[in-house]
Amino acid sequence: MRRLILPITLGLAHGAADGAAGLRLGRLPGALPLAEVGLRAQLYNLLAFGCQPAFGLLTGQLRRPRPVALAGLGLLAASPLLLPAYPMPAVALAGLGSSGFHVAGGAMALCATHGRASGPGLFAAPGVLGLALGGYLALAGREATWPFLILLAELAGAVALLEQPGLPYTDAGLAEPAFERHDLIMLVLLAAVALRSLVWTTLQYALEGRVEMLLLMAIAAALGKALGGSLADRLGWRRWTLAALGCAAALLTLSAGNLIMLLLGVALLQSATPAALAATLRLLPRQPAIAAGLGLGLAIAAGAAPIAVGWGGALQPAPALAALALAAAAASVLAFTWLSSVRRPAPGPMVDAAAAQAMQNPTGPRRL
């Protein structure tokens, strides 16, 4: 339980940071022309998601994710101070801060639980809820900037004081997988993440303007991520992902007019996220920040790209969403199957013996 304290704290900071960003972005439509709103939203998304691999490289070079995470939180906190005089620099600061925090915070969460899926699940879960809550409060006309910033400052202090997990940069026991197979598995794994992101983004597009529904979906997604990591560790990454995405496809197909089925489908869809993040670390055992940047940034942005170019209407029908979820399941199973044949990392400061065995056997415990 002690090793979960840091991922939980980072996750709460993630929620507060994304909540502050959602609050700022949610206020734009009522204050600016639509074209300018779109430009600022695109700038934020480009920096917040597209820059994560670059921040991953930077964090890997520094070998110190905590200062990068704290700097990211600092940029996010400074962003509102530039408003309303300097709106574009404020959006840029928020995007860069979000990018740096996601990468460095994700890296620490991955390392805190020694390569298990529970850590990244607890880190990722509050983010989607914070973003939706911030947007909801903005559209409701509530002034919540300072509560978010005060909470962010308190959580940043907690992150600064908590013990940093063992990091893999000096662990000679962690060998990188063979380059050719590593690349192929990573591409398939990121494709699975992108397909799930596309389903999620399409659902958000279909429900645009229905603020309460979007907030309920965010709650379901957060619960799915929070519980999905532990369930994947217990049942096996491959087994859980296949079951969760298969059930999600069925529920989304039958969810027309049924809120419970929709929310269950969303929760199961997002519950596959933690195992995918843990698998990226399995492929990049010496580079947790790059692993986080690829899984939390690049793949998510790739999944949202079809909606950005106008394909949202074509992807809205339930059979299309189900097909995408099943394709994500197939890609995940293929990646995890190949992953099980990659040489196991030796136990060390970041990977303990039990985690090394779990990472080597993503199909689940032998008794199942």
Name the residue among 162, 194, 192, 138 with its Cα closest to residue 18: 138
Give residue 340's Cα distance to chain centre.
23
Share the mean pLDDT of the chain. Answer: 87
Helix (H) or strand (E) holding 224: helix 211-235
CA–CA dist 200, 228 (Å, integer) = 16
Pairwise pLDDT comparison (358 vs 317), residue with the higher score = 317
Q: Which of 144, 124, 47 is nearest to 91 (CA)?
A: 47
- Amino acid found at 258: N
Q: Is 247 helix (H, G, I), strand (E, B) or coil?
A: helix
Range with the poorest average pLDDT among 5-9, 77-81, 203-207: 77-81
Lowest-pLDDT choice from 32-41, 97-106, 170-179, 255-264: 170-179
pLDDT tens digits, 30-40? 556 666 777 78
CA distance linking residue 266 with residue 202, whole number of Å: 12
Percent of the residues in the chain that have a pLDDT greater than 90, as a whole number: 61
Return contacts of 80-84, CB within 8 angstroms, 24+ apart: 80/20, 80/24, 80/145, 80/149, 83/24
Angstrom distance (rounded) from CA 16 to CA 20: 6
- Provide the token pair at 32: 């600016």
CA 244 → CA 19, 99, 234, 273, distances in Å? Answer: 27, 28, 14, 11
- Each as own residue / partner, the long-range contacts of residues 130-133 (CB below 8 Å, 24 or more positions apart, any chain) are 130/14, 130/15, 130/16, 130/17, 130/18, 130/19, 130/22, 131/18, 131/19, 131/21, 131/22, 131/218, 132/22, 132/214, 132/215, 132/217, 132/218, 132/219, 133/19, 133/22, 133/215, 133/218
For the chain, domains (ranges, CATH) are 2-165+175-360 (1.20.1250.20)
The first and second tokens of residue 247, run together, are 């059930």
pLDDT of residue 127: 94
pLDDT (tens digit per residue) in 118-167: 999 999 999 999 999 998 998 888 878 888 889 999 999 999 999 988 88
Instruction: Give the C-alpha distances (Å, rounded to integers) separating 14 from 118, 123, 358.
Output: 16, 7, 27
> Which residue has 């049924």 as its token pair?
258
CB 100 within 8 A of CB 72: yes
Given pLDDT bands bounded at 50, 70 and 90, which one contains residue 92? Answer: very high
Please, are residues 332 and 242 in contact by the beta-carbon 8 Å criterion? yes
| Cα–Cα distance, 342 to 116 (Å, whole number) | 16
**Strongest mean pLDDT among 71-85, 178-192, 285-299:** 285-299
* Residue 5 pLDDT level (bands cut at 50, 70, 90): very high
- Residues 6 or more apart whose CB falls under 8 angstroms from that of 341 comprise none
- Work out the average pLDDT over 309-331: 92
- Torsion over CA of 68, 71, 72 and 77, rounded to 10 degrees? 170
Contact 37, 81 (CB under 8 A): no
Task: Reply yes or no on whether the pLDDT at 224 is more than 70.
Answer: yes
The CA distance from 323 to 163, in Å, is 44
pLDDT band at 177 (very low <50, low <70, confident <90, very high): low
Which of 23-53 are b and which e, b meaning 16 or more Cβ less than 10 Å from the residue's Cβ?
bbbbbbeeeeeeeebeebeeebbebbbebbb
The SS3 of residue 129 is: helix
